Every structure is written in structure tokens, then in C-alpha cells.
């Protein structure tokens, strides 16, 4: 599943290129996770102002009104091309503009494109209201992070994945952040001390920023809007390295399952 770094990398790959574009037409393919929320023709004539990100949602601001929320789901990717090929079986949304076509390719159809009046109303409010703080922005404060963890009884790994304390720390990056912070993923969040919370806070920022710089993680078929793949997964310390030696101490990396998600960790480096 594309996580925060992959979504941010996607945004960076086309945001400047589509800014100022005039929407000329919209093509819908098979139904996605949620309906568009308007007739495709309602978008024609609007202009793209900017592309932002909130968690794992891309927000495409339109003029004179409206915002398109784009979610990549489990297997989705965006492409922005001046002259794209004819849409294929898994191409379910085309935004044809004066500067090129933005296309959502999504084999599993868990993604979505939703039009809202603004991000504080309708479906946008429902989707965005409960998201936690952005980890790569100044609002991600260590003291507030620790305070939020103290109120959670679930394991620290589960709390990170839930996205209500901090948004966008998906499975890969939760495993890697916990490893860097030396915290066992099964530890209850409320038992994370302030010093360990500070280490985890710093690790989350470092891991996500590094992943963005390295183009995200391409485990199967992720690529940005220019067709470029990421390589963060090549430098993972624990993720998907079951029984391989820890790069720090040499102990075989362990894998457990938490809420149907694989968790990877080093039993020696992550004792606490």
C-alpha cells in the first residue's frame, strides 16, 4: 500500500507540472471505493491551483471552487503525461487538462477520487477529520506526541498504524522507526517513557524524510507520476528481513503478526 512517503513523492512529481491547468474533460472507468460525488462534467472549466497532501490523501485545489481528494488505496498510482496511451483495464480516472492528463491506475480499486466543496465539508470532512498530526511539519511536537501515547492502551505499533496520534506512519515505516528508537513493537503505547517517546519522535521524522528523499518504497509496482520507482526498501533495517541478521548486532530478525500485519524487529536491539 502506498504510504505517506510514496504519496508525497507522487505529489512532488506532478504538482508543479499541473498547477494552472484548465480541466477540459473527465473520464471515469470502473467504480472505485467511493463515488466522485458529482457529474464528471461539473469539473470542466475549473482550474488547478495547487496539489497538497493530508496524510495519505492528495488534495487538488480547484478554482473557482472545489477540492479533489485522491487516495491511492492498496495498489493505485498516478501518472501525469502530455499524451497518455489509451486507457487500459485498470485505469479508472482521467483528468484531462490543458497541460496533460492525470490518470489513476488501480488494479484492486480500493483507491478513490472524490470532489468536495472544500476540505472542511462533506465527504472531505468525513475522511480527514480524524487524522493525526503531520509528522513532517512543525506541529509534530515531542511533548504532545508523548502525551497522546500515554492515553493509548494498544501496542505502540498498532497506535502508529491507526493514524490518530500521528498520520502516515505505515507498516514499513513503523517497523523501521521503532527499530531506530530501540522500542519493541509489542510495548503498550501508554508505557513508552518520555525519553523513548523523544527517540521515537526523532526516528519517525528521520525515516519518513529519508524515504521521501529516496523516492519511497517500491515493493511491488509503486512508481511516481513520472514512472520512477523508489529504493528506500533496499536500505531497510528490519522490514521484510525475517531471519536475516540484524545490521547492528547480527541477531536474526523476527517476524510477528499484529492485527493481520507483519511486524519485523530485532529482539536484542529492541528490548524495551
Instruction: State the catalytic residue, choosing from 56, 103, 157, 180.
Output: 56
Find residue 221's DSSP bridge partners: none
3 is catalytic: yes
Query: Which residue of the set 2, 5, 135, 185 is catalytic?
Result: 2
Q: Tell me which of 3, 6, 119, 176 is the catalytic residue.
A: 3
**261 tagged catalytic:** yes
Q: Give the span between the Cα atoms of 69 and 46, in whole angstroms.
A: 15
* Number of residues that this document lists for the chain: 272
Nearest CA among 64, 68, 97, 71 for reference residue 10: 71
Active-site position among 47, 191, 194, 261: 261
Task: Give yes or no: 2 in active site.
Answer: yes
Residue 212 grid cell: 521521501
Q: Which candidate, 42, 8, 45, 50, places its Cα nearest to that of 24? A: 45
Tell me how far apart the alpha carbons of residues 10 and 14 are, in angstroms, rounded to a whole number: 7
The CA distance from 30 to 39, in Å, is 15
Q: Of 159, 154, 60, 158, whose CA–CA distance to 115 is shortest?
A: 60
Catalytic residue check, 56: yes
Query: What residues act catalytically?
Result: 2-3, 56, 261
Amino acid at each position: 500500500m502506498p504510504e505517506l512517503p510514496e504519496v508525497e513523492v507522487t505529489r512532488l512529481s506532478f504538482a508543479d507540472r499541473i498547477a494552472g491547468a484548465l480541466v477540459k474533460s473527465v473520464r471515469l472507468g470502473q467504480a472505485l471505493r467511493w463515488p466522485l460525488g458529482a457529474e464528471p462534467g461539473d469539473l470542466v472549466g475549473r482550474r488547478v491551483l495547487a496539489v497538497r497532501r493530508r496524510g495519505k490523501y492528495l488534495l487538488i485545489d480547484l478554482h473557482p471552487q472545489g477540492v479533489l481528494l485522491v487516495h491511492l488505496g492498496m495498489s493505485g498510482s498516478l501518472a501525469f503525461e502530455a499524451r497518455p496511451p489509451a486507457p487500459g483495464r485498470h485505469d479508472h480516472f482521467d483528468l484531462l487538462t490543458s497541460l496533460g492528463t492525470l490518470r489513476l491506475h488501480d488494479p484492486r480499486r480500493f483507491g478513490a477520487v472524490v470532489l468536495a466543496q472544500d476540505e472542511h465539508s462533506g465527504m472531505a470532512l468525513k475522511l480527514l477529520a480524524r487524522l493525526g498530526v503531520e509528522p513532517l511539519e512543525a506541529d509534530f511536537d515531542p511533548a504532545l506526541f508523548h502525551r497522546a501515547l500515554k492515553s493509548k492502551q494498544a501496542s505502540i505499533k498498532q497506535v502508529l498504524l491507526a493514524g490518530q496520534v500521528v498520520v502516515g506512519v505505515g507498516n514499513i515505516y513503523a517497523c523501521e522507526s521503532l527499530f531506530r528508537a530501540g522500542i519493541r513493537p509489542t510495548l503498550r503505547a501508554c508505557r513508552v517513557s518520555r525519553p523513548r517517546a523523544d527517540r521515537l519522535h526523532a526516528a519517525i521524522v528521520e525515516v519518513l524524510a529519508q524515504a521521501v528523499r529516496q523516492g519511497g518504497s517500491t515493493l511491488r509496482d509503486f512508481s511516481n507520476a513520472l514512472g520512477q520507482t523508489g529504493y528506500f526498501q533496499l536500505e531497510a533495517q528490519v522490514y521484510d528481513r525475517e531471519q536475516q541478521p540484524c545490521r547492528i548486532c547480527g541477531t536474526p530478525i523476527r517476524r510477528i503478526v499484529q492485527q493481520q500485519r507483519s511486524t519485523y524487529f530485532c529482539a536484542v536491539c529492541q528490548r524495551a
